[in-house]
Structure 1
């Protein structure tokens, strides 16, 4: 049975078993195109949110991104171009639905944009919310990351993951901040990933594996020179 049908059946059964979703997503023969077909289906994505809640649904959305998209710095990538054309230029033929349905060479975005597109596809954030909160003041130099962007994405040092024997819950955001001998070397992260439980996360970056697509990483072992802070995706723009 195609992955889309499997996920749809789980939703109809009101299944709250995340492992059931993850097993279907990782089943032998399921590829990036199959996972992308689920992400492109608004009814199924909304159904995931209704059954699982936003945090756990984001974990499934992140797992569906495995092998999809292409990392590119924020600015004039496919995500920003479609969002800018829709929200600033008022081009109604553009937008994040256009982005998700484009071909692979146009599905370019960075790590925090992969989180935002997941929340958009789940029906939790609108394009205008994303544009207003992140990009409206960056028209001239949209590629420059700043502490303000990360704070808008609910980064804080309140909750830290200690790389111990308790995995971060599925769906929480993992903010990676560079450190030297345990001391933070900058005031904001240089990466964010989404936990899917069992000490795994979905990360869109070229590091640490030289793969330029969304990929699974090990929360304990990867990026050992960073401290990891944990955030709630439900708080983004909803505080």
Structure 2
């Protein structure tokens, strides 16, 4: 099972490292961290991650996963990234994402007509690419599997492990990781968080969300023009 996790500058590292922790524990899995070059990639919090292969070195994959993060905004107009995804996806058994990585898949035209999810603050933007936004932590539609925001990447990856290895192996991986969430608060979703907390988070995120929305609208217009050409 050849698994590729995409790296890019200003990604949210847990979007990548959460699923990677699961994938690396899957027997027989070959996991690659992919970027344009082998130069170190700096995440949005400053953590530096080393790619293990370039796009040009990657001919085929069984699974491609695109994480999210602020740097995803630039990816939606990055021709090298979009062309790589369009090239690699048809041969993949599963085409996947975590958080706002789904917007990158959508910008490449890979979620048109599919149910999908993303971070709660940006999920509805998927509709601009012809995808169907779903307010769930993990969404499966045919061979597309998308995870919600950040921490959902572990749930997403265990779902993938169950799909590929069976539920018993996936449960064993979950136990190895002692993944038994018991958060101190019920504020992990806007549906359950205190409304005042939700509004404060929205206000803090607004400048970045405005930039993301502008990039989404531009990318959606380009995709529509390409599909009509």
**TM bucket by the smaller chain?**
under 0.3
Structure ranking higher in helix proportion: 2
Q: TM-score w.r.t. structure 2 length?
A: 0.26
Q: Which of the pair has the greater relative contact order for Cα pairs under 8 Å at 6+ separation?
A: 1
